[in-house]
């Protein structure tokens, strides 16, 4: 078991390094660089000579390997450098946004899980009854409704019915939890509902599959009642594929909530991501990709551990 965890843990680092190399090269292959984008934005004509000076200021004239090692050296000291576009230190810029995105992702995942697991089990146990159909319609509706649209509906409803709007400025949970939750609970509900759909379907089908297993028949032949069969014999087995889905969704939520962030006017990572890429802000994009990739890789690691925890066949390998 320790061996298994250690192996998974150590595997994270080469993966992360691979991501770093890849994003570093990819950014530089994409046509246009930050200097061109900036001059274009200002509508100025600029000579090659001027652009070269600007590039030199940003260190873009150096050979690639040198740019890469400089970046890596900074990373080793947990320093992401400064944004090429604004010149502000990236670590400072990202701190609050990361906190917001992480918290939103966690809350939305909790909402999604709390919906998906009971609903999926219910639908499986009541397969092909009206309850099953109701659950399926509910979750498909979540998929069909974009969460920004649901978000707009929620905001309008609060405004019209309660004459109240959630706070606009992000307050850290550690500073003022009520203020913080009053702002984030709504996007978490909207996004969590949407993301519960896939997990619900997965829970339902995994549960149906497990309920057909021989060991469930054995449990019934022992005279156990349904609740005990579900909670003790079926749930752990059925959770395995669901955990994978929930983990992946969580990782997506960290960087992929562009429109929802706009609707709820949240300063998370999603919008920043879009801006950084359109500005060809190499340093900021690299930092963001690395953060999101780290979350993905870590979630993957956590999923592996959860698997081992649930399934002794993995634990004892």
Partner 1 sequence: MAKLLEVKNLQTQFLTSAGVVRAVDGVSYDVDEGETVALVGESGCGKSVSALSIMRLVAEPAGRIVGGEIVFKGRDLLKLSEEEMRDVRGRDIAMIFQEPMTSLNPVLTIGRQLTEGLEIHLGMGPAAASARAIELLGLVGIPDPARRLAQYPHQFSGGMRQRMMVAMALGCNPALILADEPTTALDVTIQAQVLELLQDLSRRLGVAMLIITHNLGVVARYADRVNVMYAGRIIERGTAAEIYADPRHPYTLGLLRSVPRLDEPIRAKLDPIEGQPPDLSRLPPGCAFAPRCAYRVERCTEVPPLAACGAAGHMSACWVSASLAKEPVA
Which positions touch partner 1 (CB under 8 A)? Answer: 213-215, 217-225, 228, 232-233, 236-237, 310-313, 316
Give the whole-angstrom CA distance, residue 107 versus residue 105: 6
Give the whole-angstrom CA distance, residue 194 versus residue 133: 18
In the bound complex, what is the minimum distance in angstroms from residue 242's beta carbon to partner 1? 14
In the bound complex, what is the minimum distance in angstroms from residue 212's beta carbon to partner 1? 8
User: Between residues 58 and 230, which has the closer beta carbon with respect to partner 1?
Assistant: 230
User: Between residues 180 and 237, which has the closer beta carbon with respect to partner 1?
Assistant: 237
In the bound complex, what is the minimum distance in angstroms from residue 241's beta carbon to partner 1? 14
| Closest CA relative to residue 316, chosen from 100, 42, 16, 4 | 4
| Closest CA relative to residue 40, chosen from 25, 24, 54, 61 | 54
User: Between residues 10 and 221, which has the closer beta carbon with respect to partner 1?
Assistant: 221
User: Between residues 7 and 232, which has the closer beta carbon with respect to partner 1?
Assistant: 232
Give the whole-angstrom CA distance, residue 135 versus residue 209: 18
Enclosing H/E stretch for 16 = helix 2-29
User: Between residues 48 and 214, which has the closer beta carbon with respect to partner 1?
Assistant: 214
Crossing angle for the helix pair 90-125 and 130-144, to the nearest 10 degrees: 160
Contact between 24 and 285 under an 8 Å Cβ cutoff? The reply is no
Structure letter (DSSP) for residue 231: I
Taking the CA of residue 65 as centre, how many other CA atoms within 13 Å lie in the half-sphere pointing to its CB?
Answer: 0
User: Between residues 88 and 226, which has the closer beta carbon with respect to partner 1?
Assistant: 226
In degrees, rounded to 5, the angle at the alpha carbon of residue 138 between the alpha carbons of residues 134 and 139 is: 120
Number of neighbours of residue 201 by Cβ within 10 angstroms: 21
User: Between residues 48 and 128, which has the closer beta carbon with respect to partner 1?
Assistant: 128
Structure letter (DSSP) for residue 234: I
In the bound complex, what is the minimum distance in angstroms from residue 237's beta carbon to partner 1? 6
| Closest CA relative to residue 166, chosen from 156, 175, 176 | 156
Region of 114 (left: φ > 0; alpha: ψ -120 to 50; beta: rest) is alpha
In the bound complex, what is the minimum distance in angstroms from residue 232's beta carbon to partner 1? 7
In the bound complex, what is the minimum distance in angstroms from residue 135's beta carbon to partner 1? 19
In the bound complex, what is the minimum distance in angstroms from residue 222's beta carbon to partner 1? 4
């Amino acid at each position: 078991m320790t061996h298994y965890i250690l192996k998974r843990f150590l595997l994270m680092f080469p993966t992360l390094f691979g991501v770093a190399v890849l994003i570093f090269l990819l950014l530089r292959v994409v046509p246009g660089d930050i200097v061109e984008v900036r001059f274009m934005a200002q509508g100025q004509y600029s000579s090659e000579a001027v652009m070269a000076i600007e590039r030199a200021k940003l260190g873009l004239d150096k050979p690639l390997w040198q740019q890469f090692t400089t970046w890596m050296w900074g990373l080793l000291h947990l320093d992401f450098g400064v944004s090429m576009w604004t010149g502000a230190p990236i670590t400072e810029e990202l701190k609050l946004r990361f906190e917001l995105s992480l918290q939103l992702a966690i809350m939305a995942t909790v909402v999604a899980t709390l919906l998906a697991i009971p609903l999926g089990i219910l639908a499986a146990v009541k397969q092909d009854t009206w309850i099953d159909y109701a659950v399926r319609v509910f979750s498909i509706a979540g998929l069909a409704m974009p969460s920004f649209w649901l978000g707009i509906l929620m905001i309008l409803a609060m405004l019209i019915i309660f004459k109240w709007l959630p706070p606009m400025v992000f307050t850290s949970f550690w500073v003022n939890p009520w203020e913080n939750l009053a702002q984030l609970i709504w996007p978490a509900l909207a996004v969590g509902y949407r993301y519960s759909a896939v997990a619900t379907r997965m829970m339902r089908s995994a549960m149906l599959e497990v309920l057909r297993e021989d060991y469930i028949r054995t449990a019934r032949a022992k005279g156990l009642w349904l609740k005990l069969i579900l909670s003790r014999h079926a749930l752990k087995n059925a959770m395995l594929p669901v955990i994978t889905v929930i983990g992946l969704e969580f990782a997506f939520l960290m960087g992929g909530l562009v429109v929802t962030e706009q609707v709820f006017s949240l300063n998370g990572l999603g919008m920043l991501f879009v801006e950084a890429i359109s500005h060809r802000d190499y340093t900021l994009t690299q930092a963001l990709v690395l953060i999101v990739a780290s979350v993905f890789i870590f979630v993957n690691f956590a999923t592996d551990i959860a698997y081992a925890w649930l399934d002794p066949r993995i634990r004892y390998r």
